[in-house]
Amino acid sequence: MIFQRIMRGIEVTIILVILASVTGYSNPSLTNPIEKIRAYTRDIEFDYVEWMIDAAILKVQAASVNLPYTLDRITQKQIVDEYLRTTQLILEKEYLLAQIYADPNIQDKETFSADLRSELSELYQRQNQLAPLAEAILQSQVTDVLAEIGLTSAGQPTPNVWYHSTRLPWALIVSPRERIEQTANISLNMNLTVDEHAALESDIDKKLNTSSLVVPIGGVGVYPTMVARTTNLEWLLNTIAHEWIHNYLMFAPLGLMYGESPETRTINETTASIAGDEIGRLVLEKFYPEKISASTPSLNLVAVSFDIPNPGDILRPVFDFREQMYETRITVDALLAEGKIEQAETYMEERRQVFLRNGYLLRKINQAYFAFYGAYADVPGGAAGEDPVGPAVRALREQSDSLADFVKTIKWITTLEELQEKLKN
């Protein structure tokens, strides 16, 4: 049984690598819009093939010992908790190290950071020991829930739930200036700095008259999937499930045609977000109920006297990020529809300043920003604006008998027209 699961994982890995290569850049051409962009990125692009091979080897080694099934639930929790604590320490010390190297007042940075780097080295070693165990446990827990809700065959998901937490590449998103549309999404090396991001964006936009933005990502649906390092268990479980849904959809039209149109991409990403959040929540409820917040704290209102109040005591309206971003997107869409590109770009920069004053550090809001974040339409409002695709996907989920029914239905749908037709039935 164990051997069969390992071999099945290897087979699926090979299939997904082939699919990635077939749908990749097999025929470079300077007349191809993406290849024009890659002229600026080819030397700094992330190597997925090498990463996938290394991660697959780790997964095969971990699967061969069938570890999660030899440990009781309490021990499994202890391993996951220690892994998350170790990750927290690593992230904290990496931040301190980055501060040292960014401080112009520290001359001999190597000597100054020697103790910190030594601590990090020990933490990395500990994390390397814990990661295969913790990841195998979380994979098995997600698999159990997938089996319970009917997204497996004979109790086994296709493909197996394999993920690896790691530093993630950056994503360069490119959109035309005259409309919001993702024309390129290129993965860049993880070690690029913010200054290098800005220089790359500026170079591409000046030469190609585009709108570009380098963005962080939370996961990548390669196989095994890439998931960002985090100490938030709920987010981690949601993302593991989200990226597995991408893998699952690769065997159906919705996954195979992911890049064919903005509609298909939004249907795919919204489906993965809806399903990922639901599956992640079910895993949390079943295996980690103690980590679920009891309730959202209530807002404490302030009683204001009739004399002159202290300004700091006055209750002010909460800045609703999604509502404000929705308003921004609607206005930008209207301006671009009228051909007012410069006015739209000026407005987006003005709005960015508003977000900044309210505590949201957004380096840019531009067409590329909306082209990327607008594809995740699992929640009303936000960067998707009035795009009808997200609401249609959510409506299909609401009318479906179960999450499995929803996923198995939508995996055959690639256009808004097909989606709307299915909603009529």
Tokens at 44, concatenated: 């700094």
Q: What pLDDT score was predicted for residue 48?
A: 92
Q: What pLDDT score was predicted for residue 105?
A: 87
Has residue 419 got a pLDDT over 80? yes
Taking the CB of residue 240, how many other CB atoms lie within 10 A of it? 26
The string of pLDDT tens digits covering residues 178-209 is 999 999 999 999 999 888 999 999 999 999 99
Taking the CB of residue 299, how many other CB atoms lie within 10 A of it? 8
DSSP letter for 5, please: H
Longest CA–CA separation in the chain, Å = 77
- Give CA separation, 181 vs 6, 215, 237, 246, 328, in Å: 40, 15, 30, 21, 16
Going by C-alpha positions, the residue among 186, 260, 193 that lies closest to residue 37 is 186
Q: What pLDDT score was predicted for residue 394?
A: 96
Q: What pLDDT score was predicted for residue 44?
A: 96
28 vs 397: CA distance, rounded Å? 39
The string of pLDDT tens digits covering residues 366-379 is 999 999 999 998 88
Has residue 140 got a pLDDT over 60? yes
Predicted structure pTM score: 0.85
Average pLDDT of the residues in 129-151: 95
DSSP for 92-157 reads HHHHHHHHHHH-TT-S-HHHHTHHHHHHHHHHHHHHHHHHHHHHHHHHHHHHHHHHHHT-SBTTB-
Three-class SS state of 175:
strand
Three-class SS state of 276:
helix
Cβ(377)–Cβ(387) below 8 Å: yes
The string of pLDDT tens digits covering residues 82-122 is 999 999 999 999 999 988 887 888 889 889 999 999 999 99
Count of alpha carbons within 13 angstroms of residue 403, beta-carbon side: 22
Has residue 139 got a pLDDT over 50? yes
Has residue 20 got a pLDDT over 90? no
The string of pLDDT tens digits covering residues 351-397 is 999 999 998 989 999 999 999 999 998 888 899 999 999 999 999 99
Average pLDDT of the residues in 266-280: 97
Q: What pLDDT score was predicted for residue 313?
A: 53
26 vs 19: CA distance, rounded Å? 12
Q: What angle do CA 177, 180, 182 make, to 5 degrees?
A: 100
Cβ(244)–Cβ(275) below 8 Å: no
Can you state the angle between helices 233-249 and 114-149, rounded to 10 degrees?
60
Q: Specify the length of the chain in residues.
A: 425
Residue type (1 letter), 199: A
Has residue 12 got a pLDDT over 70? no
Tokens at 384, concatenated: 């998707």
Q: In this prediction, what percent of the chain has a pLDDT beyond 90?
A: 71
In the block, tokens 């195979």 appear at: 256
